[in-house]
Each structure stands twice: as C-alpha cells, then as structure tokens.
C-alpha cells in the first residue's frame, strides 16, 4: 500500500516537473524578458529542484539497500512534495496556465501547436509498435497568402480560424458517425496556412484515404466570410506509422516530404509518403549542392542557335541558350536545372554568367567581320534586380560589344506583369542601342494598348504556334495576325522552332523577318557557330 502511495505520488510529481521543463524550454526566452514571471518561475524551480533532490537521494538509498523504505518516512516526504506542488499550482495558477497556452497552443486558432502535437504523437506511438497503424496528415491550404496581402491580416486570421473550425467539425462529425478511428483525432496548427491531423486509433491507409476524400470535398466549394467568396486549394502529405516512422520527428518529416512532392507537381490532392520520395529528396539535395558549386565555379556557358533572315537566307545573329557544362564533360539543358535554380535563387547569377560570356563571344565574332547580334534570355527575378542595368552595362563595357549588337529577351508574361518596370529599366539601355525582344509571344495575354506602349523592338512568336501551323486550323490565322500587327508597329519578327520547309515557306510568305529552329541549326558551341557563319561568308564571296 505504502509503495503504491510512494510511486503514485512520485509519478504525479514528475509529470508536473516534466511539464514545467517543457514549459521552460518552450517559452524560456519570453520568460527571461518578463521579470515578474521570471521570479515566479525561478521560485518554483528552486522548490522543484529541492524536492527532486530529496526524491533522488531517497531512491538511491533504497536501490542500494541501505535504507528500507519505512512507510512513515516515505509518506511524510511524499506529502511534503505534494503540498509544495499544490502550493505552487495554487499561487501561480493563472501564470502557469497562460504560459502553458502560449507554449502549447496556436495563438490564432487556439489549436494545439507543433510542440504539443509532437508530445501527443510520441505518447501514442508506442501502441503502433505492436503493429497497430496510425496516420499523420500534413495539410497546406492555398489562398491564405493572397487574402492576407489584399484584404488585411485581420481577415487572414478570421479565415484561418474559419478553416480550423471547419476541420474540427469534420473530424467531430466523422467520429459521431461511429468512425472509431476518428475518435481521438488530434488537429493541430503548424503554420498560418498549415494544419496537421494525427489519427492514433488503428488508422490504416484505407481509413486515411477516406479522410482525404472528405477533406477534399470540404474545400471543393468556396468559403464565405463577410459576404466574400474565398476559394481555397488544399494539398496534403500523409505518413503512416509504423511503416514510415515510429517517432514524431520522423513522421512529421515524412508527411512534409510527401506534401512538398504534391506542391512541386502543382496538383491538388493527397500523396502518401513512399521510400522513393526519400531517395528523390536525397538526390535533390545532392543536385542542389552541385548547382551551388557550379555557380561558384562558373560552369554555365551559352550554346548559340543561329537566327536566319528569311529574305536573304543570311545568318543575322544567334540566341544564347544556357548549358551546364559539368566537370565530367556532360552538357545539361536548361529544362533540367532552371526550375531548381529559380527555386534556390541562383538563376540571376547563372543569367549574368551567360550574359557576360555571350557578350564576349559576340564581340569576338564582330572583330572577325561576321556582323552578328546576340540575344540573351533574362529571368524575371534578374530583370527585377536594382542592379540589372548596371550589370548589363558592365557586360557591354568588359566585352567591348557595341550595345546595338545586344538583344535582351523577356517573356510576354513578365512584360505584362509590370509594364512600368519594363519601361523604366529599358529606357537607358535602349537609348544606347540595346534591343528588347518579347519572348514566347502569344502565350502571355498582352493587350494591344499595352503592346504599343511597351518599348519592344522584336516579337518572338512562340514555338507552339509555329509547330502547329500544319495541324491546327487556327494557328495560321494567329500567326498571320501577329505578323500583321508587328508590321504595323514596325517591329522585327522572329519565329521560333522552325522545323520544316513548309513552315519556313508559310512564314516567309506572310512577312516574318527572321527564322530560328532545327531546320537551320540546333544550338551549337561558339566555335561551331563561327565556322558556320564563316562558311556562309565564303559561299557568298564565291557567288558574287
Ligand atoms: P526559349 O528562350 O524559348 O529558347 C528556345 C528553346 O527552344 C531552346 O531550348 C531551343 O533549343 C529550343 N528550340 C529551338 N529551335 C527548336 C526547334 O526547331 N524545335 C524544338 N523542339 N525546339 C527548338 P533550350 O535551349 O532547352 O532552352 C529552353 C528554355 O530555357 C529557353 O526557352 C529559355 O526560356 C530558358 N533559357 C535558356 N537559356 C537561358 C538563360 O540563359 N537564362 C534564362 N533565364 N533562361 C534561359
Ligand atoms: Ca528565348
Ligand atoms: Ca522562346
């Protein structure tokens, strides 16, 4: 009987002490800042330390057999401890509760936060090691971020609370519909637009899929707040215990990895974690490091794709297209590294490396009487930099390339998103003679009045229109319209992706000025381009 009293009291005490430890670590910094609360806790901590010391000494003596635990002694010690704890609890109840809330609850939704979720998962997971499954959902809601910027942070918080209530209600409704696996579901807030749901009660993949379906349905319709209809998107990653992990940290990491995979694919819906995702993530980390190293080692260089004048058949210039020249000699195309470079914020530096090298190459061509211009692609983030104009001027100065030989290509989508910026950035450059081309034209919804205001010299008709000239009945009409408009505005037109003689003949007939595509040449290294251009000049001399 007395042993039971001893251990029960000791366990109760340690549970309280443990709570205080996590509380201290969770809010430690805030606590130090608040002097009065600090005093409260240091007082409580001293009492706890003293009590813990007594308990440890007692346990050690008992374990060594040096002290037979007499009922009276232990009982008195336990009573002392219990009353000390009760005293602390009574005196500082409000402060403790406040801190407990701050450490374990999300301030906006009032739901358990990540700290709290981790404790709950770790407390429940041992059951799953006997083979009983549990599921962890990581949800990300799209649409919050826009509402915050456009409608204010108060509105965003109300939206967040609304979503959390809807999620709670769904879980409660499923549990009341006799789905026992939802009975102890734990909903937690992870970030302002991220939630987690832990289902500890024998929730297998099938049950997780059922919840995923309900969650999808919940977000399939717009939410109404203050008479505003808000459409939110939902994606989710799911990790299953024990297969995908038996600790909170592993499950959270794996559910997050599954979520990121969904995010990268840009699809709506749910993804279960699989070991393949882990391999992909490891491969991605390796590629990320290699890409960072490659930027430092300046491993990016341009290949050049000739541009041919439809009227004379002459090569008039070339587009610089980035290639990653790996130390192994392998040449990697932009499709394989540009999306990652954009994500890692490396695309600007890669773009400037290409710009510098392309200007040097073009300056050399022109000293050899090749009379060619060079076109360089500019990424959106690169164009938005405050030092963009200076970097272009540096590239021109260092290479000695005359500005009129340089064309900068920006996509139609970029131009449409911030026309004023385009006008301001291009003003000093165009005054020197640098030309501006609108790339992938026909895909970005620029309207006519905007087009007439923007400082463009060249339209590049997107490859998709050229390649469908022979199959799609509307494509010829669209291409004709673009060509007619360019002619009226007095602009040069470059058709991209010309692959067949029939396409070239159509474009030539309709007044397109320049063609670029595999029909003439694939992108090639600088020396090959020089050989090709020199060959053309030699032929011309023979003919004349
Ligand atoms: P883009 O600017 O539209 O470049 C044209 C792409 O079409 C090039 O792909 C080129 O090789 C390909 N192409 C040219 N003619 C034909 C053809 O007849 N048929 C077919 N099927 N394809 C053709 P590449 O070199 O893989 O470049 C892809 C994209 O990567 C470029 O599209 C551009 O958006 C981007 N990119 C390339 N270099 C750079 C760079 O230095 N900076 C930035 N920001 N983006 C770059
Ligand atoms: Ca381009
Ligand atoms: Ca293009």
pLDDT tens, position by position, 485-506: 888 888 999 999 999 999 999 9
349 lines ligand 1 (CB under 6 A): no
Residue 95 confidence (pLDDT): 75
- Position in ligand 1 atom list of the atom nearest CA 376: 41
Residue 83 confidence (pLDDT): 81
Q: How far is the CA of 411 from the centre of ligand 3 (A)?
A: 8
CA 394: distance to chain centroid? 32
Could you tell me if 430 and 436 are in contact, meaning their C-beta atoms sit under 8 angstroms apart? Answer: yes
- Position in ligand 1 atom list of the atom nearest CA 499: 18
Identify which of 318, 322, 327, 331 has the alpha carbon closest to the alpha carbon of residue 302.
322
Residue 475 confidence (pLDDT): 86
Q: How far is the CA of 410 from the centre of ligand 2 (A)?
A: 8
Task: For the beta carbon of residue 279, count every other beta carbon within 10 angstroms.
Answer: 10
Residue of the CA atom closest to atom 19 of ligand 1: 497
The best mutation among 377, 392, 514, 519 to test binding of ligand 1, ranked by most ligand atoms within 8 Å of the C-beta, falls on 377
**How far is the C-alpha of 453 from the C-alpha of 451, rounded, in Å?**
5
Task: For the beta carbon of residue 264, count every other beta carbon within 10 angstroms.
Answer: 12
The best mutation among 294, 299, 334 to test binding of ligand 1, ranked by most ligand atoms within 8 Å of the C-beta, falls on 334
Q: Counting ligands in written order, which one lies closest to the CA of residue 305?
A: 1
Question: Token pair of 298, please?
Answer: 């300046």
351 lines ligand 1 (CB under 6 A): yes
Helix (H) / strand (E) containing 340: helix 334-343
Mean pLDDT, the chain, integer: 84
Is the peptide bond prior to 242 cis by the omega test (within 30 degrees of 0)? Answer: yes
201 lines ligand 1 (CB under 6 A): no
Q: pLDDT higher for 270 or 128?
A: 270
Residue 69 confidence (pLDDT): 53
Q: How far is the CA of 321 from the centre of ligand 1 (A)?
A: 6
Q: Counting ligands in written order, which one lies closest to the CA of residue 352?
A: 1
Question: Token pair of 426, please?
Answer: 């291009």
> How much is the average pLDDT of 440-465?
85
Residue of the CA atom closest to atom 7 of ligand 1: 497
321 lines ligand 1 (CB under 6 A): yes
* 9: pLDDT strictly greater than 50: no
Q: How far is CA 344 from CA 292, 337, 373, in A?
A: 9, 10, 31
Q: Give the pLDDT band (50/70/90) at residue 41.
A: very low
> How much is the average pLDDT of 47-64?
67
**Least confident residue range of 23-37, 211-225, 421-435:** 23-37
Listed as own residue / partner, the contacts of 150-158 with beta carbons closer than 8 Å and 24 or more positions apart are 151/228, 155/225, 155/226, 156/192, 157/108, 158/225
Let me know if 394 is exposed, middle or buried by CB neighbors in 10 A (0-12, 13-18, 19+).
Answer: middle
pLDDT tens, position by position, 352-383: 999 999 999 999 998 887 889 999 999 999 99
Q: pLDDT higher for 33 or 271?
A: 271
- Position in ligand 1 atom list of the atom nearest CA 355: 41
461 lines ligand 1 (CB under 6 A): no
523 lines ligand 1 (CB under 6 A): yes
377 lines ligand 1 (CB under 6 A): yes
Residue of the CA atom closest to atom 35 of ligand 1: 334
305 lines ligand 1 (CB under 6 A): yes
Q: Counting ligands in written order, which one lies closest to the CA of residue 517?
A: 1
Question: Token pair of 311, please?
Answer: 């009227």
- The bridge status of strand 315-325 relative to strand 300-309 is antiparallel
Task: For the beta carbon of residue 12, count every other beta carbon within 10 angstroms.
Answer: 14
pLDDT tens, position by position, 384-415: 999 999 999 999 999 999 999 999 999 988 98
Q: What is the DSSP letter of 125?
A: G
Helix 334-343, helix 275-296: angle, nearest 10: 90
Helix (H) / strand (E) containing 2: helix 2-33
- Position in ligand 1 atom list of the atom nearest CA 347: 44
**How far is the C-alpha of 86 from the C-alpha of 93, rounded, in Å?**
10
Residue of the CA atom closest to atom 10 of ligand 1: 523
Residue 124 confidence (pLDDT): 84
Residue of the CA atom closest to atom 33 of ligand 1: 377
* 181: pLDDT strictly greater than 70: yes
**How far is the C-alpha of 221 from the C-alpha of 431, rounded, in Å?**
52
Identify which of 99, 58, 55 has the alpha carbon closest to the alpha carbon of residue 81.
55
How much of the chain, in percent, has pLDDT values that exceed 90? 50
The best mutation among 321, 359, 380, 522 to test binding of ligand 1, ranked by most ligand atoms within 8 Å of the C-beta, falls on 321
Q: Give the pLDDT band (50/70/90) at residue 142.
A: confident
* 139: pLDDT strictly greater than 50: yes
Residue of the CA atom closest to atom 23 of ligand 1: 497
The 3-state DSSP class for residue 472 equals: coil
- Position in ligand 1 atom list of the atom nearest CA 460: 3
* 514: pLDDT strictly greater than 70: yes
Q: Give the pLDDT band (50/70/90) at residue 50.
A: low
Q: Give the pLDDT band (50/70/90) at residue 20.
A: very low
Residue with tokens 């002694």: 73
Residue of the CA atom closest to atom 25 of ligand 1: 321
Residue of the CA atom closest to atom 8 of ligand 1: 321
What are 305's strand-pairing partners? 319
**How far is the C-alpha of 416 from the C-alpha of 202, rounded, in Å?**
53
Residue 473 confidence (pLDDT): 84
State the chain's maximal CA–CA distance in angstroms.
120
Task: For the beta carbon of residue 518, count every other beta carbon within 10 angstroms.
Answer: 12
The phi-psi region of residue 331 (left if phi > 0; otherwise alpha if psi is between -120 and 50; otherwise beta) is: beta
Could you tell me if 182 and 190 are in contact, meaning their C-beta atoms sit under 8 angstroms apart? Answer: no
Let me know if 204 is exposed, middle or buried by CB neighbors in 10 A (0-12, 13-18, 19+).
Answer: middle
**Least confident residue range of 16-20, 214-218, 377-381, 540-544:** 16-20
Q: How far is the CA of 300 from the centre of ligand 3 (A)?
A: 19
**Least confident residue range of 18-22, 81-85, 344-348:** 18-22
262 lines ligand 1 (CB under 6 A): no
Q: Which residues contact 505 (CB under 8 A, 6 or more apart)?
A: none
Listed as own residue / partner, the contacts of 524-532 with beta carbons closer than 8 Å and 24 or more positions apart are 524/303, 524/304, 524/305, 524/306, 525/303, 525/304, 526/302, 526/304, 526/361, 529/304, 529/306, 529/318, 529/361, 529/365, 530/365, 530/368, 530/370, 532/306, 532/315
Q: Give the pLDDT band (50/70/90) at residue 424.
A: very high
* 196: pLDDT strictly greater than 80: yes
Residue 356 confidence (pLDDT): 97
């Amino acid at each position: 009987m007395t042993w039971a009293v001893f251990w029960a009291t000791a366990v109760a005490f340690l549970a309280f002490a443990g709570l205080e430890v996590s509380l201290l670590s969770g809010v430690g910094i805030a606590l130090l800042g608040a002097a009065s609360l600090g005093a409260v806790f240091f007082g409580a901590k001293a009492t706890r330390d003293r009590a813990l010391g007594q308990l440890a000494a007692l346990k050690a003596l008992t374990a060594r057999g040096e002290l037979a635990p007499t009922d009276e002694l232990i009982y008195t010690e336990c009573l002392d401890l219990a009353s000390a704890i009760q005293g602390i609890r009574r005196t500082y109840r409000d402060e403790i509760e406040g801190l407990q809330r701050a450490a374990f609850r999300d301030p906006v939704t009032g739901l358990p936060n990540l700290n709290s979720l981790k404790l709950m998962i770790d407390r429940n997971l041992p059951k799953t090691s006997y083979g009983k499954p549990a599921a962890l959902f990581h949800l990300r809601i799209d649409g919050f971020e826009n509402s915050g910027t456009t409608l204010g942070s108060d509105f965003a918080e109300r939206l967040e609370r609304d979503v959390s209530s809807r999620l709670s209600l769904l879980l409660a409704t499923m549990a009341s519909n006799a789905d026992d696996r939802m009975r102890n579901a734990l909903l937690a807030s992870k970030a302002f637009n991220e939630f987690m749901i832990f289902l500890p009660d024998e929730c297998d993949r099938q049950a997780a899929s059922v919840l995923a379906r309900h969650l999808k349905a919940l977000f399939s319709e717009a939410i109404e707040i203050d008479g505003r209809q808000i459409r939110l998107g939902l994606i989710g990653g799911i990790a299953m215990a024990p297969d995908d992990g038996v600790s909170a940290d592993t499950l959270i990491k794996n559910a997050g990895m599954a979520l990121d995979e969904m995010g990268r694919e840009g699809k709506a819906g749910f993804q279960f974690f699989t070991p393949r995702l882990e391999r992909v993530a490891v491969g991605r980390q390796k590629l990320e490091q290699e890409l960072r190293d490659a930027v430092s080692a300046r491993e990016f260089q341009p290949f050049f794709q000739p541009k041919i004048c439809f009227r004379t058949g002459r090569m008039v210039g070339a587009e610089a297209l980035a290639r990653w020249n790996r130390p192994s000699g392998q040449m990697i195309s932009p499709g394989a590294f540009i999306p990652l470079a954009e994500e890692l914020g490396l695309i600007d530096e890669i773009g400037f490396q290409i710009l510098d090298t392309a200007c040097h190459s073009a300056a050399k061509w022109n000293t050899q009487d090749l009379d060619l211009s060079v076109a360089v692609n500019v990424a959106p983030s690169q164009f938005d930099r405050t030092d963009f104009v200076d970097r272009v001027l540096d590239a021109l100065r260092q290479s000695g390339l005359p500005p009129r030989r340089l064309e900068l290509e920006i996509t139609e989508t970029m131009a449409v998103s911030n026309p004023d910026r385009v006008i301001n950035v291009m003003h000093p450059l165009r005054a020197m003679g640098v030309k501006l081309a609108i790339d992938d034209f026909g895909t970005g919804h620029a309207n006519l009045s905007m087009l007439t205001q923007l400082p463009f010299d060249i339209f590049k008709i997107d490859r998709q229109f050229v390649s469908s000239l022979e199959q799609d009945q509307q494509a010829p009409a669209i291409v004709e319209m673009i060509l007619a408009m360019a002619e009226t505005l007095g602009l040069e037109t470059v058709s991209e992706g010309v692959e067949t003689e029939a396409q070239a003949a159509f474009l030539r007939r309709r007044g397109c000025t320049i063609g670029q595509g595999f029909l003439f040449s694939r992108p090639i290294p600088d020396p090959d381009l020089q050989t090709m251009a020199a060959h053309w000049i030699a032929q011309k001399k023979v003919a004349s």
